[in-house]
Structure 1
């Protein structure tokens, strides 16, 4: 199967949904930074909506609660497709090709994902469950706090974390990565400890993604990737999605759209334009001067153009690179199911 030809996409790869008190995404006016109408106003064409699972205790009860929360959130995300109308077209997309088809039909494309492998508990079969039933396309290995599969970049003292629980990936974590590869689910290393990220890059047979991180050389934050990590990510064929989180863009916070583009340019110069993109982390803390909600998405395009990204390079940064990763994961997977059962 050849890679699909990418139309121009504006692909925001990490957006949270408010939970449990979520405002109606299809309403004309909502307090959310991302809703249907803000996305349309800003020209945002494709978005990953994340079922965010906060880290809790590594216990049977904690894992059961996390699994049920993920199932409920993904149900809410995928059922948005039932709200699609000719006036407000929307499509839940489980393949790279379906994202392209949504773009051609002018439907807002939504890709379901999971933030925090805590939702998987200790059952490797849960990867297949979420892939088959909800079409998830990436799982962020950790959030803040170590879980049963991997160490996080930020430990949680309130949960009894030390600097490291596993020294990176646990043996279970390696099994989870294999299952993710088998089901066409990308390994997301944002939030992961440096050791976890480097080991995941070695363990995965498909390119990895950092769905919402920045360059540590420009902002020394534990959530950011240093130069050696960027090179390792490049060697997998992966992509880092520079995110609109002020504290990741500039020491002390207060980042701007110009800071975001500076990180994009740094990574493009360091490891190549084929390995960098953008994301917002809207409704999960993201939002900076110049890109504070989805209605301002066009500002990002203009800022990238001012920084010298045009034509194929602009298309790569804004969506083509992520589309390539999704397609690669699909074609390498042994058990990929393009439609929910």
Structure 2
């Protein structure tokens, strides 16, 4: 069983209205057949508005929500997870679950009312930035490394009041620490690796990793090749340097996975889509104890969601 904390399948389906999530669709890295093949039980699905969308607004976000409902949740075996009771239902049945997440707050245009509306529609996680600056915050690739704006600070407060998971994966380092100062915020990193194992601005410093461990926030190891290894072909076993490093900092109980499938066009060898999670699981069982492998594959992610989602 697998929990995957980040993919961009909704973006691909937004771009191509003919893509069928519930069929064997070769253009998708994540689909219902591939989830079944790879043992993916819970999949986070991001609303990411790509840069070709000029002047994004909440209407674009709602188009993604509509895609989720019409083209994913039309499958009676897929449940939108909004609460711990939904989480438990998925765990104890043959159903599979999806969580709706927001990657980049550009489309909100500073409106907290729109954030509240999206929460009512099932949004359960917000990552305020993509790579660069917006009205709320600087992203990890913004060279000035700024933090949250005043309106961005209100976004944090509102997210906290709503009980939203708060995704630090694309935040600038300054913004990360500003978010970390907020008591009770469900801070996690959906798809980031360890900077000590691969020096990339999108990866987490040891200090950030220790902070997330202290706050019991999940760290989703991602499959973006250039976040795993600087040069050359990347193999599944290259992920283990990141896992081992986070474990060395005390993070064994907080490691999960966030593939970034459908948001990448270069892949780890043997891990080109969700159906190939079986290859990762097999390698994990070779290199770690069965208890550790199960933690990384799903138990840590499940525990994080059980701590963080509303009861009902």
TM-score by length of 2: 0.91
Q: 2:8 aligns with which of 6, 12, 16?
A: 16
Contact 1:51 1:70 in 2 (8 A): yes
| Other-structure match for 2:270 | 290
Measured in 1, the distance between the counterparts of 2:308 and 2:162 equals 8
Change beyond 3 A, Cα 1:214–1:82 = closer
- Look up the SS of the partner of 1:46 in the other structure: strand
Q: 1:77 aligns with which of 39, 50, 68?
A: 68
Contact 2:87 2:306 in 1 (8 A): no
| Other-structure match for 2:285 | 305
Measured in 1, the distance between the counterparts of 2:113 and 2:258 equals 29
Measured in 2, the distance between the counterparts of 1:183 and 1:55 equals 28
Uncovered stretches (5+) of structure 1, i.e. residues with no partner = 1-8, 156-161
> 1:271 deviation in Å?
2.7
What CA deviation, in whole Å up to 9, does each residue of 1:21-80 have, x standing for no partner?
Answer: 1511012333111111111111111101111123589xxx83xx3321111102211334
> 1:177 deviation in Å?
1.2
Counterparts in 2 of 1:12-161, with a 5 A limit? 12-17=4-9, 18=12, 19-22=14-17, 23-54=19-50, 62=55, 65-80=56-71, 82-85=73-76, 89-133=77-121, 135-155=122-142
Counterparts in 2 of 1:171-320, with a 5 A limit? 171-252=150-231, 254-285=233-264, 287-311=267-291, 313-320=292-299
What CA deviation, in whole Å up to 9, does each residue of 1:206-252 have, x standing for no partner?
Answer: 33111011000010000000111111222222121010010000013
- Look up the SS of the partner of 1:147 in the other structure: coil
Change beyond 3 A, Cα 1:53–1:11 = same
Contact 2:43 2:99 in 1 (8 A): yes
CA-atom RMSD in angstroms: 2.1
- Look up the SS of the partner of 1:306 in the other structure: helix
Uncovered stretches (5+) of structure 2, i.e. residues with no partner = none
Change beyond 3 A, Cα 1:221–1:253 = farther
| Other-structure match for 1:327 | 306
Change beyond 3 A, Cα 1:263–1:309 = farther
Contact 1:265 1:307 in 2 (8 A): no
Runs of 4+ in structure 1 over 4 Å off: none
- Look up the SS of the partner of 1:137 in the other structure: strand
> 1:81 deviation in Å?
5.5
